[in-house]
Amino acid sequence: MRNTADYTVTSEGRDKGKVFRITEMSATQGEMWAARVFLALAKSNVEIPDEIEDMGMAGLASLTLKSLKGVSFEDAKPLLDEMFTCVQLVPDARHPQVTRPLIEDDIEEIGTRLQLRREVLHLHLGSFPLAGPLKSAMSRGTANDTPATATSQGQSVQ
């Protein structure tokens, strides 16, 4: 069963109180997404260390976050868009079992979009030991928001 995490927006603004459910990509989708990230970095002449293969997806994510400035928008946009296929809205927090796919007006603040991207990465990479520096960097941006609580097969994961 794939991991999920609920994220509640606590920052002031139009999205305050909204709940989003993030679901882990399938292994195939995650592998293909990581491969496209790698190819976008290579195409942009980002120097990729030889040991990247040993670092796994967490190493790729760390490299990606440091190197995004070198990737063209045309290459980055489909990758960024795909991140939101992992996110659904919980329309009524009193009924958390009910979710629906996002529509354009569900997220009204840019900051919410950026935080949801961090939460998607955290859900996918949080279990990797090499993701420690990435997790630390992401946590600096979550001071005003409730961190997502991940679950796997009904078990709460911190």
Question: Per residue of the chain (158 residues), what is the pLDDT tens digit?
Answer: 999 999 999 999 999 999 999 999 999 998 898 888 878 888 887 777 777 666 666 666 666 666 667 788 898 899 999 999 999 999 999 999 999 999 999 999 999 999 999 899 888 876 544 334 433 433 444 334 555 655 543 333 33
Contacts of 93 (CB under 8 A, 6+ apart): 8, 17, 19
Q: Cβ–Cβ contacts within 10 Å for residue 146, how many?
A: 13
Task: Report pLDDT for 67.
Answer: 64
- The Cα 80–Cα 149 span in angstroms is 22
Task: Report pLDDT for 157.
Answer: 35
Domain that holds residue 88: 4-157
Query: Which helix H or strand E contains 101, and what residues bound it?
Result: strand 100-101
In sequence order, the β-bridge partners of residue 101 are: 88
pTM (2 d.p.):
0.73
Structural domains counted in the chain: 1
Residue 91 dihedral angles phi and psi, to the nearest 5°: -60, -30
Query: Which region, left, alpha or beta, applies to residue 22 given φ > 0 means left and ψ of -120 to 50 means alpha?
Result: beta
Task: Report pLDDT for 144.
Answer: 42
